[in-house]
Chain A
Amino acid sequence: MKLLAFLSQHGDEILQAMLEHIGLVGVTMLLAIAIGVPLGILVARRPWLSRPILGTANVAETIPSLALFGFLLPVPWLGNRADRVAVAALTLYALLPIIRNTATGITGVNRAVREAARGMGMTERQILFEVELPLSLSTVIAGIRVATVLTIGIATIAAAVGAGGLGEFIFRGLAMVNNPLILAGAVPAALLALAADFGLSLLEKRLRPAR
């Protein structure tokens, strides 16, 4: 009951925070895809780069998120604005699943198909855009899906550096020992994650190629 009362009182505020949250996650995902997919292609093309690239992404993944936000604060330009710090840190986290799935998808394309493409005189570029990427699209989307759900969760911590979002309620609630306040941040974040997961899973299924 307390929660319902709270929701009716603070509906606008929650909506506002949710939009901020979606903004953070959206910008992060665009950046992570723009960086991660090309890196994944690079890893698939040059297997010797797989260790340094995936290794680095892996290390980024292991840094505790609160610490990573802290580390990025003193970085020039980035540190000037909280949302920049948040997006930079979140992008680092989102990269690994995207790079890994892109590389796996492309290396998983049937060798006979690749060879037929080469044998018919397709250029490397044509093979990539007309054969390999379409055939690995559902795997790439699966990576984006994992990264998105991950990012929605971690983005709540961005409030710690003042980047806003649903984490605001969680941190305030923690400080004031106010459970409804915590839930006002946690529940919408969880719903957001579920919705993103569901939506992207539909997309993934639709794009799954025939064998």
Chain B
Amino acid sequence: MKEVSFAVPRGETLVLLGRSGAGKTTALKLINRLLEPSGGRVCVEGRATTDWDPIALRRRIGYVIQEAGLFPHYTVEQNVSLVPRLEGWPAERIDARVRELFELVGLNPAEFLSRYPDELSGGQRQRVGVARALAADPPILLMDEPLGALDPLTRGDVRRELHDLQVRLKKTVVIVTHEVSEALLLGTRIGLMENGELRGTYSPKEFLNATEPLAAAFSAQVRELEAAGEQT
């Protein structure tokens, strides 16, 4: 990666958009220090990630990955309560929090708490993944292709839910995706990446009118879809 420089103001949602291999995930992992920069600086809350204790840093950052990465040997409840447990919350507070999170992501606690991840559908797993990331109420949320493994209809549902969550929770969010529709719907800013470089950042509106060739290619895709919609 080179020439990547961006800032995400508190409460904003930056979507990193680009083809696979563009360096989006690498950029994301630099933020929670799953990777360390070979040059340059990555700052979280004004402090370089290399100055943070990596464990403390990651506990302040919710992390959602494709396929959710749920622990198969834990029940859904144990998965969601993991970070609060690591943080040593008292049991009653954890219980209450888990229930609250389930309501938040639209799952019925009575029905799902004691299930294992392989007893859930893809969309349910992803919701649990989001609940788990939000568990200790981190101010920052990172999502790597959070909708990547879902079928188109479920994807639409979960995307709308994510959007509602953002409006309600006002987290600072960075999302990685190769889906332009996701970027337009979820992002307050869109960062366009190609070959490990950031080609520019745009508001969704600016993005649709951008002259940058890659941005134009992505927005052409949106217009094609719209045109197809009008024909029918």
Q: Bound complex: CA of A127 vs CA of B173, how far in Å?
A: 26
The distance from the CB of B29 to the nearest CB of chain A, in whole angstroms, is 8
The distance from the CB of A44 to the nearest CB of chain B, in whole angstroms, is 18
Find out whether the CB atom of B71 lies under 8 angstroms from the CB atom of A118.
Answer: no
- The closest CB in chain B to the CB of A134 belongs to B73
State the majority secondary structure of interface residues on A: helix
Find out whether the CB atom of B82 lies under 8 angstroms from the CB atom of A113.
Answer: no
Taking a contact as CB atoms closer than 8 A, the residue among B55, B67, B71 that contacts A121 in the complex is: B55
* Contact stretch, chosen from B7-15, B56-64, B197-205: B56-64
- For the complex, is B21 an interface residue (Cβ under 8 Å from A)? no
Find out whether the CB atom of A211 lies under 8 angstroms from the CB atom of B59.
Answer: no
The distance from the CB of A45 to the nearest CB of chain B, in whole angstroms, is 17
Find out whether the CB atom of A121 lies under 8 angstroms from the CB atom of B86.
Answer: yes
Per-residue CB contact flags for chain B residues 45-62 toward chain A (1 = under 8 Å, else 0) read 000000000111111010
The answer to whether residues A112 and B66 also contact, given A134-B73, A211-B72 and a CB cut-off of 8 A, is: yes
The distance from the CB of A136 to the nearest CB of chain B, in whole angstroms, is 10
- The closest CB in chain A to the CB of B87 belongs to A121
- For the complex, is A8 an interface residue (Cβ under 8 Å from B)? no
Name 5 A/B residue pairs within 8 A (Cβ), A-sorted.
Answer: A115-B65, A116-B68, A116-B69, A120-B86, A135-B71
Binding site for A on B (CB under 8 A): 32, 34, 54-59, 61, 63, 65-73, 82-83, 86, 116-118, 132-133, 142
Binding site for B on A (CB under 8 A): 110, 112-113, 115-123, 126, 131, 134-135, 209-211
